[in-house]
Amino acid sequence: MEDKNILINLTLKQYNQSNAAAYDRIFTSTSSDYNYNIIERAYEGTAKVYAQLKMAIKNKTCQDPTCLYENKILKQIEEAPAKTIDFLENIFAELSVTESANYDVNNNYEYLVANSIMTSKAGFSKNDGYMVTLNLLPNNSQEIIFEGPLFDQPLRINNTALDSLIKSNTDLIAETPDINGLMLSLLTKVGLFKDEDIIEGELSPTAKISEEFIMKNPDGTFDYEILDIGSNMGRNLLKFDMDKIQKKSDPFINAEVAGMLNQEQEVVAAWNVYIAQGTSVDEDDQMAQNANAGSRSWSYKYDLPLSQENKLLFEIKYKEYFMNNYLKPFITNKFPTVKEDAAVFNLAEARKAKAQKFIDDNKL
């Protein structure tokens, strides 16, 4: 089923985004009926029932002298339209997640099909064999039923069940977090930059890692890495204290992950779309469909609630993703801040001088 979700979700999303239907002569020459008359069919006959109940109460011909049953049904009929509006609003809101750019294709594909029906996507009309029905049930709840060729069996959603999920902060479809936004925000919180480099909650374009995280010699001068640029010439590069950077940033990353774990659905989505494969931000942007974890995917059905092992794994991989994709640009190939140390130099002479300095500093 998991592989089926990935296959159908990817196929449908690519089809819906390709505009392929516009070039299908059979489709363009055939009428498509998207008028499901959901509300009209659901409320057909209720006006007559309502009138009969009113008349029974007025004429005192109820089932019992108190007219308890008749008043109960009247109340249900009167309250039903407001419930329907709320129900349909919730359905549209939940199903709209399937249209997000970073939608996790490991979600149940039937919700993408249902959204395609509700939004009149090409190929999901009554003529294509699809139907959506709203039922007012005797227990005063309501249900919506989606049917058609891509459903193994009708997809039923009850309004009371959906209300319960929403109130418990659970969704039908997991929404993938804005990892880019979270990571950019995290950069401002990890304590690696000066306060003046953070403007209105964002790093300034000129932001640099604070000097306290740059490696230095015993005499306080910078301990550079030498970069060979060819022709026996070189340049100095700053060396960063990665142990110190990790110790400083770890508590902030751990706190962020702990907050994310309050909504485990979204953690699974983040894992499947971004974190598991460790792809770069550029790679994700260049893909027609954001990376999906494939065989490393976590299942919404079988991996929730998350085990302690998977929580720990997510934390480890989240840190790696942050370090490799967001912090790395600030610590890679950074030239000295001291002007005279930033000049190009002769490699042989520089190496000789560095060896002599090591001897002098350590009194060898």
Residues 357, 215: one domain? yes
Q: DSSP per residue over 142-202, as a string?
A: EEEEEESTT-SS-EEEEHHHHHHHHHTT--SSPPPP-HHHHHHHHHTTSS-B-GGGEETTE
Q: Which of 167, 192, 211 is the last residue of a domain?
A: 167
Residues 312, 243: one domain? yes
Residues 190, 110: one domain? no
Residue-by-residue pLDDT tens, the chain, 364 positions: 568 898 899 888 877 776 665 555 555 556 678 899 999 999 999 999 999 999 999 999 999 999 999 999 999 999 999 999 999 999 999 999 999 989 999 999 999 999 999 999 988 999 999 999 999 999 999 999 999 999 999 999 999 999 999 999 999 999 999 999 999 999 999 999 999 999 998 999 999 999 999 999 888 888 888 888 888 888 889 999 999 999 999 999 999 999 999 999 999 999 999 999 876 555 554 444 555 667 789 999 999 999 999 999 999 999 999 999 999 999 999 998 888 888 888 888 777 766 656 655 666 5
Query: How many structural domains are present in the chain?
Result: 2
Residues 150, 18: one domain? yes
Residues 244, 145: one domain? no
Residues 101, 61: one domain? yes
pLDDT at 287: 44
Residues 233, 129: one domain? no
pLDDT at 71: 94
Q: How far apart are CA 334 and CA 341, in angstroms?
A: 12
Q: Which of 149, 167, 185 is the last residue of a domain?
A: 167
Is residue 105 within 8 A of residue 13, CB to CB? The reply is: yes
Residues 204, 352: one domain? yes
pLDDT at 220: 86
Q: What is the pTM of this model?
A: 0.82
Residues 58, 204: one domain? no
pLDDT at 27: 55
Side-chain half-sphere CA neighbours of 110 within 13 A: 17
Residues 141, 224: one domain? no
pLDDT at 115: 96
Two structure tokens written together for 266 = 């979204």
Residues 100, 230: one domain? no
Is residue 274 within 8 A of residue 178, CB to CB? The reply is: no
Please give the biggest Cα pair distance in the chain: 113
Residues 36, 163: one domain? yes
* Cross-strand partners of 346: 233
pLDDT at 351: 74
Domain that includes residue 44, residue range = 2-167
Q: Which of 108, 134, 167 is the last residue of a domain?
A: 167
